[in-house]
Amino acid sequence: MDIRGKRVLVTGGAGFIGSNLVDELARGNRVIVIDNFSSGKLGNIRHLSDKGAIGIVTGDIRDKVLCRTVTRDVDVIYHLAVQCLRVSISDPEINHEVNATGTLNLLMAARENSVGRFVYVSSSEVYGTALRVPMDEQHPNEPTTVYGASKLAGEKYTLAYHRTYGMSTMVVIPFNTYGPREHFEGAQGEVIPKFVLRALNNEPPHIFGDGAQTRDFTYVSDTVRGIMMASECDMMIGQTVNIARGEEVSIRSIAEKIYRKLGKGHISPVMETARPGDVRRHFAGVEKAEKLFGFRAEVSIDDGLDRYIEWFKTRGYDFGALMKEDVVFNWEQK
């Protein structure tokens, strides 16, 4: 299926990955974004809405009537609306309602309105900690948090709608995406932006656990390209695929790379108690994506960090003020 000249709906399209995806989709499609702006930011997509390149609907996928309305006359849905991992620790119910029930609401509406293709963007958290590596799509699903469990429920609903009703659905699983527009604030903040922010303030990194835990960090341009390539692949209907670089990097080594790139020399991190639900190891198997639609990540971790640091430094942020606002170091090492 050629994803050009289509009417496309992106849920969570003002978020980190969502807004980067919308940037690419808006080049050749009529794009509608639905977001409740609980974590997404209007500023991420304002440059497109001001030009009339996209439409924006402020709303929540827990609203069944709204889901039916926004899915009318839509050719493709990219479903990224989500409640984040750390919220699930303190408020598991809202994670379930948004990530699981919200997905079911959207699937019901998409079927009712005969949407041509439904792309569910999941999370590597559905796998839990690696039981074997690399973690291909046949790896057991053992999520360690309600967030991971709720994203897995969304996966199962998505594939069930293909098997039961013949809908053209698929599941895409990004691993540990980073890059421009990534959250750095509060509970939604993620590890790479937090390390950059602290380094720019000559503060040591805070690391939960021993720092030896690994993630498969993938630059956002690669993640977006992989999602789009998967969505165009007819052989992906009813399938699940990982989108990742296929390389594991420890949290401590990420901190060391960032501080070295910013000229901070040797670092002595502040070691914090390991957080509940943190996975120990993530390392994606990426052969299926390459075999089905020729995807391979192009941006190395060092190149990606350089790109992100330069982007972050040009934003005009008051780094000292940001540090004062973020007095609770409750970010995600993802």
The pLDDT of residue 315: 84
The pLDDT of residue 255: 96
The pLDDT of residue 186: 56
Burial of 237 (0-12, 13-18, 19+ CB in 10 A): middle
The pLDDT of residue 189: 67
Same fold, 7-177+218-243 and 182-216+247-282+300-325: no
Residue carrying the six token digits 């020729």 = 294
Q: CA-CA distance, 193 to 191, in Å (whole number)?
A: 6
Name the DSSP class of 83.
-
Please write the tens of the pLDDT for every residue from 198-244.
999 899 999 999 999 999 999 999 999 999 999 999 999 999 999 99
Q: Contact at 8 Å (CB) between 208 and 42?
A: no
Distances (CA, A) of 61 to 80, 108, 160, 187: 11, 11, 19, 22
Q: Over the range 125-159, which residues count as b (16 or more CB within 10 Å of their CB) and which as e?
A: bbbbebeeebbebebeeebbbbbbbbbbbbbebbb
DSSP string, 178-237: ESTT---SGGG-BHHHHHHHHHHTT-PPEEETTS--EE--EEHHHHHHHHHHHHH-GGGT
- Residue ranges in the chain modelled with pLDDT below 50: 327-334
Residues contacting residue 93 through CB under 8 Å, at least 6 positions apart: none
Superfamily of domain 7-177+218-243: NAD(P)-binding Rossmann-like Domain (3.40.50.720)
The pLDDT of residue 333: 39
Chain centre to alpha carbon of residue 144: 18
161 is catalytic: no
Q: Which CATH class is domain 182-216+247-282+300-325?
A: alpha beta
Per domain, the residue ranges of the chain are 7-177+218-243, 182-216+247-282+300-325
Q: Which of 78, 127, 147, 161 is flagged as catalytic?
A: 147
Please write the tens of the pLDDT for every residue from 270-314.
999 998 899 999 999 999 999 999 999 999 999 999 999 999 999
The pLDDT of residue 325: 55
